[in-house]
Amino acid sequence: MSAFARAGRRTNLAILVVLTVAFGTGALAFAVGDEAAARIIVAGHGIAGLCLVVLTPWKTVVAQRGLRRPRPGRGTSVALAILVLIIVGTGVAHALGAAGPYLGVTAMQVHVGAAIVATALAAVHVWVRTVHPRRADVSRRTLLRAGAVAGAGALLWSATEATAALASLPGAQRRATGSHERGSDDPAEMPVTQWLTDHVPHIDPTGYRLRVVASGRSVDVPFSDLRGSDVVRAVLDCTGGWYAVQDWRGIRLDELLATTVGTPSVGRSIDVVSVTGYRRRFPLYDAGRLLLASHVAGRPLSPGHGAPVRLVAPDRRGFWWVKWVAQVEVVDAPWWLQPPFPGR
Ligand code: HEM
Ligand code: HEM
């Protein structure tokens, strides 16, 4: 009897755990801006993801058994298997250095897109091929096996890291978040990426006004009054899998508020809203760290990178760096009262 013939219920349960941990750590990796935290979470994510590779021989036995009995839900299972191949393939390609963009799409964008669709398919698959956990599943033996799978996952992860380092692949240079350097001090080389359905709008610079709202006052500021002289050197770390270090020039939000509507007497947060409707909410106490930038590396921003003005939010991932800012509003609602990731 082959070592994999014992495959069955517990293999499926192990995959369920691994998928959940991989999805959770993946989402967390996008949420954290702090390098030390990112390093641990991203490594944990890589190990969890590679545990799927470790479990593949056992799952293949389960799948072959299932495929011999054609039943409704089979198409979903096969589509899920294809998506998992794409997820692991793009994940490893990204980690080694083949991060793209290819035809305007990065390996990481495909990775996350496929992971979101796979999660929905996995939910259907688990629903139609229900597996019932048993009391006996919580045993010393299961714990040892789980440890062995995790250990093998960690070995595989170390092997990808060692390959990148020994073969001097671009992956060896990536940041703690996993992102690859693209166009530092050379903004023209930075990829233009938007969150989901967001798009580069057409903005007439002469008609453009920034609306600033606080304490019941609202002021429309022309672009000529937004060219500040504060320079901040900060890392734009895009969740598309790349990062760039740039000198951003503009006006700090605390100064913008003070010189337009006056330092707010009430309110807890700042809503920064794009011309496209895209928005993020920040704590008011961060106003001194947030910059409304009109220039990058000494040149005006390009339309793709947020002209006329974009937000620079140091130590936060790219989706916080609202582009094409149309409105800055001080509000009472707490900053955490918003979806962790933008919905559009
Ligand atoms: C990486 C994720 C997964 C992939 C790619 C995958 C793929 C497949 C495939 C291709 C089959 C055979 C076709 C079929 O019976 O529909 C199958 C069967 C099955 N899967 Fe999955 N699956 C995954 C995760 C899971 C999870 C998380 C569970 C439950 C917790 C599960 C439970 C089952 C069961 C019970 C069967 C039927 C086995 C049999 O009839 O002997 N699978 N899976
Ligand atoms: C269930 C779904 C997922 C699976 C199975 C998975 C699996 C993987 C694998 C195998 C790698 C390569 C690890 C390596 O070779 O070092 C990887 C990398 C990565 N994944 Fe996922 N992933 C999933 C979902 C996600 C999600 C939802 C996100 C973000 C929202 C994400 C973000 C990342 C990032 C940033 C990397 C690069 C890590 C690095 O460069 O070391 N993943 N993933």
- The per-residue pLDDT for range 215-247, each reduced to its tens digit, is 889 999 999 999 889 999 999 999 989 999 999
Find out whether 49 and 88 touch, Cβ atoms under 8 Å: yes
Structural domain containing residue 119: 9-181
> Residue 1 falls within a domain, yes or no?
no
Mean pLDDT, all residues of the chain? 94
The answer on 274 and 237 residing in a single domain is yes
* Domain end position, chosen among 181, 200, 217: 181
Tens digit of pLDDT for each residue in 87-129? 999 999 999 999 888 988 999 999 999 999 999 999 999 999 9
| CA 102 / ligand 2 centre spacing (Å) | 18
Indicate which ligand has the atom closest to the C-alpha of 30.
2
The pLDDT, as a whole number, for residue 164 is 96
Ligand 1 pocket mutation, candidates 56, 77, 128, criterion most atoms within 8 A of CB: 77
Residues whose CB falls within 8 Å of the CB of residue 47, separated by 6 or more in sequence, listed in order = 150, 153, 154, 156, 157
What is the token pair recorded at 280? 């993020």
Distance from C-alpha of 131 to C-alpha of 152, rounded to nearest angstrom: 25
Greater pLDDT, 204 or 40: 40
Q: Which of 134, 150, 181 is the last residue of a domain?
A: 181
Domain boundary among the residues 181, 202, 217 is at 181
Residues 205 and 159 in one domain: no
Q: Which pair of tokens denotes residue 86?
A: 């794409």
State which ligand 2 atom lies nearest to the alpha carbon of 160: 15
Structure confidence at residue 138 (pLDDT): 87
Buried b (16+ CB within 10 A) or exposed e, 47-61: bbbbbbebbbebbeb
- 325: which 2 tokens? 């800012």
Domain co-membership, 137 together with 221? no
Arithmetic mean of pLDDT, 297-316:
95
Q: Atom 42, ligand 2: which residue's CA is nearest?
A: 26
**pLDDT at position 1:** 47
Is 260 within a domain? yes
- Tokens standing for residue 307: 């002209």
In terms of Cα–Cα distance, which of 205, 155, 194 is closest to 53? 155
| 134 and 206, same domain (yes or no) | no
Assess if residue 342 is contained within a domain.
no
Question: Do 156 and 304 fall within a single domain?
Answer: no
Same domain, residue pair 156 and 205: no
170 touches ligand 1 (CB under 6 Å): no
Note the helical H segments in the chain: 9-31, 35-67, 74-96, 107-128, 140-166, 253-260
Residues 218 and 154 in one domain: no
Residue 107 near ligand 1, beta carbon < 6 Å: no
Distance in Å, CA 153 to ligand 1 centroid: 20
Has residue 5 got a pLDDT over 80?
no
Distance CA 245, CA 186 (A): 9
Atom of ligand 2 nearest to the CA of 47: 13
| pTM across the whole model | 0.89
Helix 140-166 and helix 35-67: axis angle, to 10°? 120
pLDDT at position 200 is 84
- Nearest atom (ligand 2) to Cα of 96: 15
The protein residue with its alpha carbon nearest to ligand 2, atom 30, reads: 27
Same domain, 235 and 100: no
Residues 169 and 65 occupy one common structural domain = yes
> Is 122 touching ligand 2 by the criterion CB < 6 Å?
no
Query: pLDDT value at position 157?
Result: 98
Q: Summarize pLDDT for 255-293 with one digit per residue, the tens.
A: 999 999 999 989 999 999 999 999 999 999 999 999 999
The pLDDT, as a whole number, for residue 192 is: 86
Distance of CA 340 to the CA centre of its chain: 11
- Which residues, 6+ apart, have CB-to-CB distance to 98 below 8 Å? 107
**End-to-end C-alpha distance for the chain, whole angstroms:** 52
Residue appearing with tokens 């993020």: 280
* Contact (Cβ atoms closer than 8 angstroms) between residue 48 and residue 28: no
Tens digits of per-residue pLDDT, 141-153? 989 999 999 999 9
Closest residue by Cα to atom 15, ligand 1, is: 66
The tally of domains found in the chain comes to: 2
Mean pLDDT for the stretch of residues 31-49: 94
Task: Give the residue whose CA is nearest to atom 16 of ligand 2.
Answer: 46
Choose among 315, 312, 257, 319: nearest CA to 290: 312
CA of 32 to the centre of ligand 2 (A): 15
Query: What is the mean predicted confidence (pLDDT) over 149-160?
Result: 98
Dihedral, CA of residue 237, residue 235, residue 41 and residue 284, to nearest 10: -100
Over the range 312-323, which residues count as b (16 or more CB within 10 Å of their CB) and which as e?
bbbebbbbbbbb
Closest CA to 224 of 310, 328, 297, 309: 309
Stronger pLDDT, 330 or 141, i.e. the higher one: 330
> In whole angstroms, what is the distance from residue 282 CA to residue 338 CA?
10
67-81 b/e (C-beta count within 10 Å ≥ 16 → b): eeeeeeeeebbeebb
Q: Is the CB of 131 under 6 A from ligand 1?
A: yes
Residue located via tokens 């149309």: 326
Residue 2 lies in a domain: no
Instruction: Output the CA angle 108-109-114, nearest 5 degrees.
Output: 100
13, 128: one domain: yes
Residues 43, 157 contacting (CB under 8 angstroms) = yes
13 and 53 fall within a common domain: yes
Q: Provide the pLDDT for residue 344.
A: 66
Q: What is the pLDDT of residues 196-217, one digit of tens each?
A: 677 888 888 789 999 999 988 9
**Ligand 2 pocket: which of 41, 47, 50, 111 to mutate (most atoms <8 Å of CB)?**
111
Place of tokens 């910059």: 291
